[in-house]
Amino acid sequence: MVAGERFCENCGADLPGSDVTGGDLPDQAQVAAQGPDDDLLAAPAPQVALREGVVVVPVDLAVRAATCTACGGAVAADGYCEQCGTPAPNPRDHWVDEPAPWVVAVCDRGVRHSRNEDAVAVAAAADTGSFAVLVVCDGVSSAPDSDQASLAAARAARDVLAGPPGDAGEDSAASMSLAGAAAHAAASAVARRVAGSGRGSPPSTTFVAAVLQGRDAFVGWVGDSRAYWVPDGATAEQLSVDDSWAAEAIALGVPREEAESGPKAHAITRWLGADAPDPDPRTLSRRLDGPGWLLLCSDGLWNYCSEPEALGELVADTREHAQAPRELAEALVQWAIDAGGADNISVALARVEA
DSSP string, 8-50: -TTT-PBPTT------SPP-HHHHHHH-TTTTSSS-PPPSSPP
Residue 64 lies in a domain: no
- Structural domain of residue 103, as residue ranges? 91-352
What's the pLDDT at 195? Answer: 64
Q: Where are the alpha helices (DSSP H) in 16-145?
A: 28-34
Is 338 a residue whose pLDDT tops 60? yes
77 lies in some domain? no
83 in any annotated domain: no
- pTM assigned to the model: 0.86
Portion of the chain with pLDDT greater than 70, in percent: 86
The torsion angle over the Cα atoms of residues 75, 77, 83 and 85, rounded to 10 degrees, is 100
Please tell me the total count of domains within the chain.
Answer: 1
Distance, in Å, from the CA atom of 117 to the CA atom of 151, rounded to the nearest integer, reads 8
Query: Tens digits of per-residue pLDDT, 94-113?
Result: 999 999 999 999 999 999 99
Position 50 in a domain = no
pLDDT > 50? residue 15? no
How many C-beta atoms lie closer than 10 Å to residue 183's C-beta?
A: 26
Decide if 9 is inside a domain: no
pLDDT digits 0-9 by tens, 211-243: 999 999 999 999 999 999 999 999 999 999 999
Spatial contact of 203 and 194, defined as CB atoms under 8 Å apart = yes
Answer for the pair 253, 120: CB distance below 8 angstroms, yes or no. Answer: no
Asked whether residue 62 is domain-assigned, the answer is no
Give the pLDDT confidence of 66-82 residue by residue, as tens digits. 899 889 999 998 889 99
Domain contains 7:
no
Please check whether residue 160 lies inside any domain of the structure.
yes
**What's the pLDDT at 25?**
31
pLDDT above 60 for 5: no
CATH no. for residue 252? 3.60.40.10
pLDDT on residue 63: 85
